[in-house]
Structure 1
Amino acid sequence: MLGRGGVTPHERTPVVTSSTIDPAATQDLQLPPEVQDLLFREARTANTFSPEPVSDEQVRAIYELVKWAPTSMNTQPLRALVVRTDEARERLLKHMADGNRAKTAAAPLTVVLAFDADFHENLPRLFPHAPGAKDYFADPEPRTDAARLNALLQVGYFIIGVRAAGLAAGPMTGFDADGLDAEFFGGTTWRSLVVINIGKPGEGAWFDRLPRLDYDEVVTVA
């Protein structure tokens, strides 16, 4: 469950060994090193999973943590479909890309993360100190752009939340989004963004760690 104080050794991925890692660079962070490892350095995208189930309580605990992600004007456009039944999984699998179908079939739980293009209907409650907030998003095209951007911010938090629960996440964008939306979200304003397999990592879960860009390659100070 969330907040259980880490994961057991067999669930942990190997420590990253790279000449670009400088332990002193993160020593002043508020998170202790073992939590930095759990959420970032040792966290990996899983491609296989053990059969151990993921409970509804774990999913709720993840959401209760990641709902605090920042979004513009507190829009909170992220929506989630938890694919738990065999029937729903079969409906999902036919829309997954070939390379993602088998691992999705074998994962203990899969969640479709989507955005709600009509998120603005909630703004009178979510952003009450700006009475005109809902009208600000009256135009559907920029509203959809805002929904997608802010929901993607929430997706990143969701992945970290899965890691915080001691679980591995396997996020995928290789699927037929139009087909999936018609299958599950027909007649709604939800639109799929990412499909995420969730569970304890299985045998051969990890591909080789790929390099990351260094600070000086990414950061410019003006």
Structure 2
Amino acid sequence: MTTFAEQTEALQVPADVQNLLFREARTANSFSSEPVTEEQVRAIYDLVKWAPTSMNTQPLRALVLRTAEAKARLLPHMAPGNRDKTEAAPLTVVLAADVDFHENIPQVFPHAPQVKDNFSDEQGRVEFSKLNSLLQVGYFIIGVRAAGLAAGPMTGFDAQGVDDEFFADKKWRSLVVVNVGKPGENPWFDRLPRLDFEQVVETL
């Protein structure tokens, strides 16, 4: 059994960065009115784009909602418990998987552009894009934390309704809605326990 100090020292980044990205980071349920800048959004993406995806396909797509008009289109599709905080957040991002990700393969996988031909089956692309996009979603949340902001990821929404509302002319499939901003008043629920190493990890 290692001590906490030994665990932090075993990692490459300093303890304060570990805490910012993981130990002290929380899912926010209220947000201040302080805006999230375009520069912050671009900086977050500049981190997220380095997430690993199979064959570098990068299927994640993001719809950034800033205006009240845009939020009004989203809110009817959110679960009742998620509507007020989504309306109040300075920025909301719909993270989606692009089923037509394969169209970009000649650009993102240039040494084997013919790989595009392996994705002719749309149903296969749906599952592939979902799995790889969810890898990128995790990186997005870490990127938000790295910007000194709080993320409020939610899966409580009508995904088909969101797709019909925003992506009718695209092959994007919504996965997670994330509120982004500085924490507001009483933003955190009580911290819930995590499973211990011995409960999760098996070494052969």
TM bracket (short chain): over 0.9
Give unmatched runs, 5+ long, in structure 1: 1-19
Pair 1:87-2:69 in alignment:
yes
Match of 2:189 in 1: 207
Correspondence for 1:11: none
1:147 corresponds in structure 2 to: 129
Q: Which residue of 2 aligns with 1:130?
A: 112
Q: Would you say the 8 A contact 2:151–2:181 is kept in 1?
A: yes
Aligned ranges 1:184-203 → 2 under 5 Å: 184-203=166-185
Q: How many residues align?
A: 203
TM-score (norm 2): 0.97
Equivalent runs, 1:17-166 vs 2, <5 Å: 22-166=4-148
How many angstroms does 1:68 deviate by?
Answer: 0.4
Q: Deviations over 1:1-23 (max 9, x none)?
A: xxxxxxxxxxxxxxxxxxx9823
Distance 1:21 1:170 in 2: 31
Name the aligned partner's letter for residue 197 of structure 2.
Answer: Y
Q: CA deviation at 1:127?
A: 0.6
Letter in 2 for 1:125: Q
Identity within the alignment, %: 71
Structure with more of its chain in helix, by fraction: 2
Deviation at 1:25, TM superposition (A): 1.7
Written as runs of structure 1 = structure 2, the 5 A alignment for 1:160-179 is 160-179=142-161
* Whole-Å separation in 2 of the counterparts to 1:198 and 1:127: 31
User: TM-score normalised to the size of structure 1?
Assistant: 0.89
Deviation (angstroms), 1:42: 0.1
RMSD of Structure 2 on Structure 1 (CA): 1.2
What whole-Å deviation, never above 9, does each CA across 1:180-218 have from its counterpart, x for those lacking one? 100000021011000000000011100010000111111
Q: 2:152, 2:65 → 1: CA distance?
A: 14
Residue segments in structure 2 that go unaligned for 5+ positions in a row? none
Change (3 A) 1:90 1:208: same
CA distance in 2, matches of 1:186, 1:142: 20
The one-letter code sitting in structure 2 at the alignment partner of 1:82 is V
C-alpha distance in structure 2 between counterparts of 1:77 and 1:21, whole Å: 40
